[in-house]
Amino acid sequence: MKTLKLFSLLAIIISLASCDAVKQATNTTGGAVFSLNGKWQLTSNNPENTLLNSVVSVTLFSTEGKLTYVANNTQCFRENDIKWKNIKSDKAGGYTLNNLLSNCSSGALNYQPATITVISNSEIRVNGQNAKGQDNTQTWSRIK
């Protein structure tokens, strides 16, 4: 009986923690429901053209996006690096996050604050800075 109660309590704790992660990766501002869950392919990266065609995957119970395919890589990214972490929905219908800029410097990961603007259900823009400190705009398209 104690084992069943412990298991039930553990299941409740996990489900509550998972609900919070789902809320952060889902935004309902303005009445429309949008979710980052899925795969996103980089289609534009200005002012640089690094990582074009790379893919980031965001899973249902996570507040991070993991690189699952890396292309045009001049900044030492690896598959399975967490490209987007601490994703949180904002009141404007978008998201805030920490964006991985480079994995080249002395083994330390270089994350910088960024925002996601939802363009449509299949397109987002990540705005922040690049590794050189310049303003950077990336366009990502949802893929299947």
**Can you say how many angstroms the Cα of residue 13 is from the centroid of all Cα atoms in its chain?**
24
The third-level CATH classification (topology) of the domain covering 2-143 is Lipocalin (2.40.128)
| pTM for the predicted model, two decimal places | 0.78
For residue range 101-143, list pLDDT tens digits in order: 876 766 677 899 999 999 999 999 999 998 888 999 999 999 9
Domain locations along the chain: 2-143
Q: How many C-beta atoms lie closer than 10 Å to residue 127's C-beta? A: 14
For residue range 17-74, list pLDDT tens digits in order: 444 444 445 555 455 678 999 999 999 999 988 899 999 999 987 899 999 999 999 8
Question: Could you tell me where the DSSP H helices lie in the chain?
Answer: 2-25
Q: How confident is the model at residue 10 (pLDDT cuts 50, 70, 90)?
A: very low
Count CA atoms closer than 13 A to 53's CA, side-chain side.
Answer: 3
Say what the pLDDT of residue 76 is: 85
Q: Determine the Cα–Cα distance for residues 54 and 94; give it in Å rounded to an integer.
A: 22
